[in-house]
Every structure is written in structure tokens, then in C-alpha cells.
């Protein structure tokens, strides 16, 4: 019996898929999922793939392997490097995988929200593929997924504000943390040179420097954008000297949001150009700059003079 897949039916099927207490069928007449044994007793019908007018249909199989595969795909697309590695370790531990996975997510509410959205879309896609298989058997055209309602996780979990001179110390904590990160990544002399180069690019603060910050609901600063007129006193050109986000919060769109707000900040002031020439902006952020409309004019390169390739 043909039926229309409504959001209510989809949710009912997903609920039954995740219920590991029994075997469920979809009742196309009652428009709900029922235990297989109750279906046989109540209606005296047994499931049959060969019955063109069948009333009951097997719902998509969902077991621990299916759940593990979904978690693995979530981790593969997760851009936050810190949480991604934690979740990978949990998935490869071989025991207590599901509990460990959930416990890690509880410690990262913003990532947990991403997980729930991913899971919801993933499960809906599974049900839709199952339903399209039925439509194939009915000789009907397949249907596509509904347009996803994009939920702005960043704006819900973080607030963005401009720091005043009295609050600049909060940004200094983030800058100090990033300096330690640079020192750990590069040899001491090179790390020191990069920090000095950045300080020169940043210039001296004549009161025109603007610092935008991203903070959690608890008021913790987790990202900053620093920009200023360039050269000092310019009314047409500004420079973005740095965008920083704590490692635990990277890959969540915070840097992109800070960039968009920085661009808007100078645009409304009537500035024509925003230059980003910082050696400390990671290569991985380049696509974000390009999508925002930045064009490359030169770059920073470092040659190791002791390398054998010389």
C-alpha cells in the first residue's frame, strides 16, 4: 500500500529504528510503527516482500554497526582538531565506544549541538533512502530531501563584541596562548622572528586599533580579531593583523564570523581596502579569506638554509 512520507512518520520510524528492544514494522494503514508480533496478532497478516498490496513494511535496519558508522562519519567531517582526535581515540578504543563518545561530547556543548544536528540529518537521510526504495518498487519517481534549515550554531553558542581599552587584557591572554603555540610548533629563533614580524605589522596602538572578540556564555574569550587603519591615520585602507581562536574552538565557524564582522566594521566606516598580511594567519584559513573576497598579493615564505636540498 502506497503512503506519503510525512515528518511525523519519519520521526516515528527513526524512533523505532533506535529502539533495540524488539522488531518493528511500519503499518501503512495505521501510519505508525508496530511490533512485528503485535501486527501478526492484531491483523492476522504476516510481512511479505512479494505482496504488492502489503500493509506492513520492514523499517531500515539500525544496529550498533550502523551507529558506529554514523559516529565515524561525524568525526571525519568535524573540523575541530582537538575534539576530533579525542573522538577518534574513543572510536578506536575497542570497548565502551558509545559511552566514551557521548561523555566526550558532553564536555564540549557546542560540538554536541553539531552532533545532534548531524545525527538528525543522517537518520532522516536513511529513512528517505528507504522510502525511495519503496517508491522504486511502486513505479514512482524518487523524491529529494527537503531543504535543510541552516541553524546558526555560532551565533547561538557565542556572543561577539568589541573590546574596549579596559578589556584588552582579555585578548592578551589569547595572544599569549598563541605565542606559546607558535613556540611549540617552530624552532625558538624562527618562532621569535615570526612574532616580531607580526608585531611590526601590527604596529603601535595609537588608539585606532579595533579588537573584536568571541566569548562563550560564561564570558570566556575564545577568539579575537585585531585590525586598525594602515598606515596609521589612513582613511581608505585598514589591516587585519590577526584572527585567533583557541584550538579547542577551531573549525566551528568562529574565525569566519569574526572575519565577517571585521569586514563590516571597516566597510561601514567608508574604508575601501582591508589588507591581511600576517605571517601568523594559518594556511588553513586561506580558503575563508578567499571566499570573503580577499585576493592574494604576495605571501610569507621561509627557507631553511641548512636543508640538504640546498
- Residue 133: the pLDDT is 92
The set of long-range contacts for 68-76, using a CB threshold of 8 Å and a minimum separation of 24, is 68/97, 70/119, 70/122, 70/123, 71/97, 71/98, 71/101, 73/122, 74/115, 74/118, 74/119, 74/122
C-alpha cell at 92: 578506536
**pLDDT by residue (tens digit) across 169-187?**
667 777 787 788 788 888 8
Architecture in CATH of 155-291: 3-Layer(aba) Sandwich (3.40)
Please give the model's pTM, rounded to 2 decimal places.
0.57
Domain ranges (residues) in the chain? 7-58, 64-151, 155-291
C-alpha cell at 240: 587585519
Pick the more confident residue, 259 or 175. Answer: 259
The DSSP 8-state label assigned to residue 207 in this structure reads S
- Residue 8: the pLDDT is 92
**pLDDT by residue (tens digit) across 120-140?**
999 999 999 999 999 999 989
Residue 228 has pLDDT above 60, yes or no: yes
Amino acid at each position: 500500500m502506497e503512503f506519503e512520507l510525512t515528518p511525523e512518520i519519519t520521526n516515528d520510524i527513526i524512533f523505532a529504528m533506535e529502539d533495540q528492544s524488539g522488531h518493528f514494522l511500519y503499518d501503512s494503514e495505521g501510519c505508525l510503527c508496530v511490533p512485528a508480533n503485535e501486527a501478526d496478532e492484531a491483523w492476522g497478516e504476516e510481512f511479505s516482500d512479494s505482496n504488492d498490496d502489503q500493509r506492513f513494511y520492514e523499517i531500515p535496519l539500525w544496529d550498533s554497526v550502523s551507529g558506529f558508522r554514523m559516529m565515524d562519519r561525524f568525526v571525519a567531517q568535524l573540523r575541530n582538531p582537538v575534539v576530533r582526535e579525542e573522538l577518534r581515540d574513543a572510536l578506536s578504543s575497542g570497548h565502551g565506544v558509545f559511552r566514551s563518545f557521548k561523555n566526550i561530547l558532553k564536555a564540549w556543548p557546542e560540538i554536541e549541538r553539531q552532533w545532534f544536528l548531524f545525527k538528525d540529518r543522517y537518520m532522516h537521510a536513511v529513512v528517505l533512502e528507504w522510502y525511495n526504495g519503496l517508491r522504486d518498487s511502486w513505479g514512482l519517481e524518487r523524491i529529494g530531501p527537503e531543504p535543510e534549515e541552516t541553524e546558526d550554531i555560532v551565533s547561538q553558542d557565542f556572543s561577539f563584541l568589541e573590546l574596549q581599552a579596559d578589556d584588552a587584557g582579555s585578548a592578551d591572554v589569547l595572544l599569549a596562548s598563541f605565542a606559546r603555540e607558535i613556540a611549540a610548533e617552530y624552532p625558538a629563533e624562527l618562532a621569535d622572528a615570526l612574532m616580531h614580524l607580526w608585531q611590526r605589522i601590527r604596529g603601535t596602538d595609537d588608539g585606532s586599533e579595533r579588537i573584536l572578540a568571541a566569548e562563550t556564555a560564561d564570558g570566556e574569550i575564545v577568539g579575537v580579531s585585531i585590525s586598525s587603519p594602515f598606515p596609521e591615520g589612513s582613511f581608505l585602507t585598514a589591516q587585519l593583523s590577526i584572527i585567533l581562536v583557541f584550538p579547542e574552538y577551531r573549525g566551528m565557524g568562529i574565525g569566519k564570523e569574526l572575519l565577517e564582522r571585521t569586514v563590516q566594521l571597516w566597510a561601514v566606516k567608508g574604508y575601501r581596502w582591508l589588507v591581511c598580511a600576517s605571517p601568523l594567519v594559518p594556511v588553513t584559513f586561506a580558503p575563508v579569506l578567499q571566499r570573503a573576497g580577499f585576493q592574494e598579493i604576495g605571501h610569507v615564505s621561509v627557507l631553511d638554509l641548512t636543508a640538504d636540498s640546498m
